[in-house]
Structure 1
Amino acid sequence: MIKERELPLLPLRGILVFPYMVIHLDVGRERSMAAIEEAMLSDRIILLTSQRETEIDSPNPSDLYTTGTVAEIKQLLKLPGGTMRVLVEGISRGRVLEFLEEEPYFKVRIEELPEEKIPLTPEIETLIRSMTHQFEDYAKLGKRVPLETLGTVLAVEEPGQLADIVASHLNLKVPDKQTILEAMEVNLRLERLTELIMREIEILELERRIGQRVRKQMDKAQKEYYLREQMKAIQKELGDKDERLVEAEEYREKVSKAKCPKEVEQKALKEIERLEKMPPSSAEGTVVRTYLDWLLVLPWTKSSKDKIDLKKAEDILNEDHYGLEKIKERILEFLAIRKLTPKMKSPILCLVGPPGVGKTSLAKSISRALDRKFVRMSLGGLRDEAEIRGHRRTYIGALPGRIIQGVRTAGTRNSVFLLDEIDKMTSDFRGDPASALLEVLDPEQNSTFTDHYLEVPFDLSQTLFVLTANTLHTIPRPLLDRMEVITLSGYTEDEKVNIAKRYLVPKQMEAHGLKKEVLTLDDEVLLKLVQGYTRESGVRTLERQVANLCRKIAVRWVKKEWEPHTLTVEDLESALGAPRYHFQVAAKAPEIGAVTGLAYTEVGGVVLTVEVTPLPGKGRLTLTGQLGDVMKESAQAAWTFVRAHAVQLGIEEDFYDRTDLHIHVPEGATPKDGPSAGVTMATAMASAIAQRSVRSDLAMTGEITLRGNVLPIGGVKEKVLAAHRAGIKVVLLPEENRKDLEDVPENVRKIMEFHFVSRIEEVLNLALLPLAHSDEVPGDVAAHAVYGQKGIPVEETRPEERPVVS
């Protein structure tokens, strides 16, 4: 029977009390203790309701559930510290109708909802039977309900009372228990309770499976630990040590301290287990030990911290190298982006240029600017793929590849790794090392580089690879595609003088024990040293000549035959002998059939003279001078053009019926190839057959077509610098190479004259002197067309009218 009454309310945190439930409660809040004291002064009846949130210390009415349990206080005990312990027993459900007071305690008006007896219908009986079966399974799995308690609970016959008692023994959250408490109808209460028990059973089953798996692993580890400790104890008692076990334990300790990736750690532990089972004298044991030593010594996670100070880096680059502005700018760009995005993948830089221009030393400067470890690996003559990827451990004496060896030498995984002379690699039956390098030099792949020896991936994405090469045409295209190519051209004479003054002379004087006051070299002497004793793109020969000079002066100084003073040109020739090279290497006077061409080789730009001599014959073309196929084809194309335009050149149309041509390029022992000698050969042929002299102060380069078009070529800067070193005053370049003139140093552009041509007729007009003036001074070109009356006249061009590009 429902009846209303006024009761003090005791809010509960994290707990819910059901009817028929007896429980101890510890009370410490002032309002709660005041409510208990009020109940004790009347009939000991109090309403117990749960808080919605356990974190709230001073709840409001809205923070409490409105359905609770009317309970009787059976016992009260005051504890030290001002708290109480009460023993309460649930009587019936109660629903809060109104909060009458909130201070000093909650006082509410409720309606009490006593449990009514209901008849046992088939539906109720089925729900009870299902619920009891589930509860038995729960008790067996959870082992939280003693068997005697289980028997007592299941002996209750009243369905509503049974449901409340079962719910009180379940390990449920307060919201779930509250749904049971709020279910006034018995059948609904039983259904909800059955669902909750089934859910708890699933959770217990999962916990049991996880527990068994974890226990099994722990048991195995404990068993191994226990057995090892037993073996140690036995060996200690016997005074005998098993070297294999001691060694295995040492390796396990190293693995635990190495901070390796999980995959590497598993691999190492597996190899340690193998080592334990091997006899001490086994050859396989040595292989495993070496492998473990390699695994544990590599810097899997160790990185050096980049000290990115752009000003300091710029100072270091300027201190180590003179010139090379574009290269320095690119390095500073990389450092700036590295500072903004530290996790950026490192680029693959390829420095291309002739020997002696500072490629290797530039890589060292990058390492110094970044404050990283520096590793160098030479690829010259490398032909075995295993040198890159390592040998498989099936081979005797197997080792990791030189990439992993270099990483070990550096001790960090973000070193500056120099791969020197990448254009000198070869391949044979043992494999293609260039293809093996594809994985190393691909920023998308090298984060999982796998060495054949290690058999586990190593992250190379943080390593800054710098490559050097003298030329690009010998590097495979797929490999070249993965690089960022930075070209280093040859130095001008002015740059060489500055490099010698700033770096080479102080370095060699210190190496030879000469003080500054003993020997002084001014710019004039250094320029003479550059022009007369060296002929190169770089500065290696220059450094050797400076060292040679220092040795000569050192001998005279020791013999007291040298008085300290500024070295003169006469002193230079006295010490080093007569100059080996002459500044003016171009022809002194115009010649017939000899044209100065420009070529680009591995040592930079060079000047080549193409000589053509006509001979009596039947139109045969002879080529000598170690010419490559491309150069031979250029000669053939030039020969065909001259034959096709014989009339325009003022030559008899059937001259080839009685004339052979011999084309020779001096330095016959040096192989030469490339298409850029086409215009040079055509001009030399036209000069030889038409008996017209060629200007001696002029050089040219360009590819020719059968129709007479001049096509662009490469290496403009290097070729122009070579012409500048040779004393050439006028250079003919293809029209499409006009943009490349920006790369030529400004001081060279100012003192040289450049003409851009698109047709061979323009070349011939500028290069060939008129027949009547063949013996005149170079450059004194007559003011009439080169071609005869039958040909297409070309616009007359006087020297003062020629465009000069500066």
Structure 2
Amino acid sequence: MEFSSGIASFITFIQVFFAVIIGLYFWNLLKTQQGNKSAVERESRKELEKLQNLRKISLSEPLAEKTRPGCFGEIIGQSEGLKSLKAALCGPNPQHVIVYGPPGVGKTAAARLVLEEAKKNPSSPFKDNARFIEVDATTARFDERGIADPLIGSVHDPIYQGAGPMGMAGIPQPKPGAVTKAHGGMLFIDEIGELHPIQMNKLLKVMEDRKVLLESAYYSSEDANIPGHIHDIFQNGLPADFRMVGATTRTPDSIPPAIRSRCLEIFFRQLMPEEIGAIAANAVQKISFTLAAQGLEIIKKYATSGREAVNIIQLAAGIAVTEGRKEIESADVEWVVNSGQYAPRPEKKVPAEPQVGLVNGLAVYGPNMGMLLEIEVGAIPAPSGQGKVVVTGIVDEEELGSRGKTIRRKSMARGSVENVLTVLRRTMDVDPRDYDLHVNFPGGAPVDGPSAGVAVAAAVFSAITGIPVDNTVAMTGEVSIRGFVMPVGGVVAKVEAARHAGVKKVYVPADNYQEMFQDITDLEVLPADTLKEVINGSLMTRGLEKKLVIGGQQRETLGSGNFVPAAGATVTGEY
């Protein structure tokens, strides 16, 4: 009995001992957890206090924010683009859109305002709670393993989730991307041309399906531990019914055809100097300063976008403030322009008077941006059939590369000059081989493309015959060796540039002619089918019929004015 009682007492002691040990362990663990929780709470309170103190600090609103358009009337110079954007997005069936245009002309602001305008339309599918989600394609990075994709969405598999509740349970966790956040609203992708090809292809699939289908090796439809909403996401996809507005400063040919075919393309043009001046004047008014008239003219000369104009004003105003002035002087603006190394706008005006061998061509140098391009030709008699041709100011060769191969070819501008020499011999009874010809494209910027063909032909014909070219006429179009004027690109931008340069008459290819050109009151736009039409209408041959002798042969032509023919060409008759 005593032995049994001793064993029972020992067992009881052991039980009590371990009970005390376990109790102390859990008491210490609970105390540690409470201490950790208290420490976390104290740290959280400190961080919250820091955040609140940081939020109390705010600097003045940047001038760029103050001048951001708040209504359509404040978006200057883009009436045609806004009209197209409204037509594409404010109706009962909004479309995906790509907006082309130079930086700082209001593409992002226009997209925001159009969404708000669409919400007001009862027939529009955009509801009052439709969201505007903005994504910058240059920073929209993704992981090829599908761990992270802020644009399309991704799945966080348990192996990547760590100690999270779903990771410990072995449950894959879907993460919605911008396309899902924009569901029922608008997804604005800035610089869409910079989007990675893989993401571009994924985006195309989402745009067609209007949902995002996700996959994971850790998902099983039979797993009862997976929550119902995750089952629904994997089986039905994340909703992604949105309308995309992509903005880019690139040209259309640099955007993949697959995305272009699914979108309407809208073009915002470059701002004119007067429009730049209006934006600058508005910025000056916003900061309660005054601007000297000469300073405004400098801004109009150097700023190419509204953003540049605002930046110049902001820096010039800073100079004035440091010197205790409320007026921005022209010297302040000049200093900003020089220190910022701004280049003057490529704005050219028509020559003051008609000249032999000088023609106003037209060119484009960016998305929907046109300019006047002077083309000058000098002709010097050479031994019969031994004349040489020198072309300067153009791109000599161009290199084309795609799909792992590179092709080199002679520049289209040089090929256009050679076409001109052939067509003049065939259709205009002029033999350029009897002259040393120098064709020059002044201005410093490399020129390429076939659209200067008619201008080169008119300049060469003028230089050889000595007939001056009307200085108020401009022209664009490719010339075939049969003497026809072929269609070219960017005609609308070229016509607009000609109007601002002071041109009174423009010849464009007949295939490029549009009815809208008839609404232009201060400029006559004429369609041309053949080179003869352009030369007859652009050279100073008004009034009387004359006889022009070229290379010893007599030609019939019309002429007016006083001029000196090139050597080897004589003119009979009165002018």
TM bracket (short chain): 0.5 to 0.7
- Aligned counterpart, 1:683: 458
- Aligned counterpart, 2:393: 625
SS for the counterpart of 2:153 is helix
- The residue type equivalent to 2:363 in the other structure is A
Kept in 2: contact 1:350–1:485 (CA 8 A): yes
- The residue type equivalent to 1:737 in the other structure is N
SS for the counterpart of 2:535 is helix
- The residue type equivalent to 2:425 in the other structure is R
**Alpha-carbon distance, 1:466 to partner:** 0.6
Map 1:470-481 onto structure 2 (within 5 A): 470=249, 471-481=251-261
**Alpha-carbon distance, 1:461 to partner:** 4.1
The whole-number CA distance in structure 2 between the counterparts of 1:451 and 1:463 is 22
SS for the counterpart of 1:485 is strand
**Alpha-carbon distance, 1:486 to partner:** 1.4
Kept in 2: contact 1:317–1:328 (CA 8 A): no
Pick aligned residue for 2:359 from 569, 590, 595: 595
Pick aligned residue for 1:755 from 526, 532, 545: 526
**Alpha-carbon distance, 1:598 to partner:** 0.9
2:220 aligned with 1:467 = no
The whole-number CA distance in structure 2 between the counterparts of 1:350 and 1:454 is 38
What are the ranges of 5 or more consecutive residues in structure 2 without an aligned counterpart? 1-21, 28-68, 120-128, 155-174, 220-233, 338-342, 399-410, 562-575
SS for the counterpart of 1:688 is helix
SS for the counterpart of 2:254 is coil
Per-residue CA deviation, residues 106-148 of structure 1 (Å, 9 max, x unaligned), is xxxxxxxxxxxxxxxxxxxxxxxxxxxxxxxxxxxxxxxxxxx
Residues 782/319 of structure 1: CA separation in 2 closer, same or farther (3 Å cut)? closer
**Which is greater in Rg?**
1
Per-residue CA deviation, residues 33-89 of structure 1 (Å, 9 max, x unaligned), is xxxxxxxxxxxxxxxxxxxxxxxxxxxxxxxxxxxxxxxxxxxxxxxxxxxxxxxxx
Residues 697/331 of structure 1: CA separation in 2 closer, same or farther (3 Å cut)? closer
Residues 705/408 of structure 1: CA separation in 2 closer, same or farther (3 Å cut)? same
The whole-number CA distance in structure 2 between the counterparts of 1:478 and 1:671 is 31
- Aligned counterpart, 1:439: 205
**Alpha-carbon distance, 1:679 to partner:** 0.8
The whole-number CA distance in structure 1 between the counterparts of 2:130 and 2:503 is 45
**Alpha-carbon distance, 1:676 to partner:** 1.7
Kept in 1: contact 2:279–2:310 (CA 8 A): no
The whole-number CA distance in structure 2 between the counterparts of 1:786 and 1:532 is 46
**Alpha-carbon distance, 1:321 to partner:** 1.8
- Aligned counterpart, 2:309: 542
2:79 aligned with 1:325 = yes
What are the ranges of 5 or more consecutive residues in structure 1 without an aligned counterpart? 1-234, 241-314, 339-343, 510-514, 771-780, 799-806
Kept in 2: contact 1:709–1:760 (CA 8 A): yes
**Alpha-carbon distance, 1:639 to partner:** 1.9
SS for the counterpart of 1:595 is strand
Per-residue CA deviation, residues 497-540 of structure 1 (Å, 9 max, x unaligned), is 444444x3345x2xxxxx2xx4267xx76873565444x4x433
2:166 aligned with 1:399 = no
Map 1:161-176 onto structure 2 (within 5 A): none
SS for the counterpart of 2:317 is helix
The whole-number CA distance in structure 1 between the counterparts of 2:218 and 2:391 is 55
Pick aligned residue for 1:420 from 167, 190, 201: 190
Pick aligned residue for 1:528 from 273, 291, 297: 297
Map 1:364-379 onto structure 2 (within 5 A): 364-369=112-117, 370=119, 372-379=130-137
Kept in 2: contact 1:531–1:582 (CA 8 A): no
- Aligned counterpart, 2:107: 359
Pick aligned residue for 2:503 from 720, 728, 747: 728
SS for the counterpart of 2:253 is coil
Per-residue CA deviation, residues 663-695 of structure 1 (Å, 9 max, x unaligned), is 332344x44333321111211222233333323
Aligned residues: 428
Kept in 1: contact 2:82–2:110 (CA 8 A): no
Residues 506/703 of structure 1: CA separation in 2 closer, same or farther (3 Å cut)? same
**Alpha-carbon distance, 1:759 to partner:** 1.9
Kept in 1: contact 2:299–2:333 (CA 8 A): no
- The residue type equivalent to 2:441 in the other structure is V
Residues 459/348 of structure 1: CA separation in 2 closer, same or farther (3 Å cut)? farther
**Alpha-carbon distance, 1:481 to partner:** 0.6
Pick aligned residue for 2:536 from 765, 768, 771: 765
Pick aligned residue for 1:634 from 416, 424, 430: 416
The whole-number CA distance in structure 1 between the counterparts of 2:345 and 2:25 is 85
Kept in 2: contact 1:348–1:483 (CA 8 A): yes
SS for the counterpart of 1:467 is strand
**Alpha-carbon distance, 1:605 to partner:** 0.9
More displaced, 634-643 or 784-793? Answer: 784-793
The whole-number CA distance in structure 2 between the counterparts of 1:412 and 1:583 is 41
SS for the counterpart of 1:591 is coil
Per-residue CA deviation, residues 626-654 of structure 1 (Å, 9 max, x unaligned), is 4353333322221211222352xxx4x4x
The whole-number CA distance in structure 1 between the counterparts of 2:486 and 2:145 is 51
The whole-number CA distance in structure 2 between the counterparts of 1:462 and 1:723 is 43
Kept in 2: contact 1:413–1:459 (CA 8 A): no
Kept in 1: contact 2:182–2:240 (CA 8 A): no
**Alpha-carbon distance, 1:584 to partner:** 6.1
Kept in 1: contact 2:72–2:110 (CA 8 A): no
- The residue type equivalent to 2:393 in the other structure is G
- Aligned counterpart, 1:291: none
Residues 330/683 of structure 1: CA separation in 2 closer, same or farther (3 Å cut)? closer
SS for the counterpart of 2:452 is helix
**Alpha-carbon distance, 1:485 to partner:** 0.9
Kept in 1: contact 2:149–2:177 (CA 8 A): no
Residues 434/730 of structure 1: CA separation in 2 closer, same or farther (3 Å cut)? same
The whole-number CA distance in structure 1 between the counterparts of 2:547 and 2:533 is 10
Kept in 1: contact 2:540–2:559 (CA 8 A): no
Per-residue CA deviation, residues 591-640 of structure 1 (Å, 9 max, x unaligned), is 33332211122151122222333465835544443435333332222121
Residues 447/700 of structure 1: CA separation in 2 closer, same or farther (3 Å cut)? same
- The residue type equivalent to 1:399 in the other structure is A
Residues 433/586 of structure 1: CA separation in 2 closer, same or farther (3 Å cut)? farther
Per-residue CA deviation, residues 369-411 of structure 1 (Å, 9 max, x unaligned), is 55644333334599xxxx46x4225xxxx42254438964685
Residues 643/237 of structure 1: CA separation in 2 closer, same or farther (3 Å cut)? farther
SS for the counterpart of 1:751 is coil
- Aligned counterpart, 2:98: 350
The whole-number CA distance in structure 2 between the counterparts of 1:438 and 1:792 is 62
Kept in 2: contact 1:490–1:718 (CA 8 A): no
The whole-number CA distance in structure 2 between the counterparts of 1:740 and 1:425 is 37
SS for the counterpart of 2:494 is helix
The whole-number CA distance in structure 1 between the counterparts of 2:320 and 2:512 is 47
TM-score by length of 1: 0.45
Pick aligned residue for 2:441 from 641, 652, 665: 665
**Alpha-carbon distance, 1:541 to partner:** 3.4
- The residue type equivalent to 1:466 in the other structure is V
SS for the counterpart of 1:694 is coil
Map 1:71-220 onto structure 2 (within 5 A): none
The whole-number CA distance in structure 2 between the counterparts of 1:448 and 1:583 is 48
- Aligned counterpart, 2:404: none
Per-residue CA deviation, residues 78-105 of structure 1 (Å, 9 max, x unaligned), is xxxxxxxxxxxxxxxxxxxxxxxxxxxx
Kept in 2: contact 1:593–1:694 (CA 8 A): yes
Kept in 1: contact 2:360–2:475 (CA 8 A): yes
Per-residue CA deviation, residues 421-450 of structure 1 (Å, 9 max, x unaligned), is 234568xxxx6655454324x4x3343455
The whole-number CA distance in structure 2 between the counterparts of 1:451 and 1:709 is 58
- Aligned counterpart, 2:284: 505
- Aligned counterpart, 2:270: 490
- Aligned counterpart, 1:20: none
Residues 491/461 of structure 1: CA separation in 2 closer, same or farther (3 Å cut)? same
- The residue type equivalent to 2:191 in the other structure is E
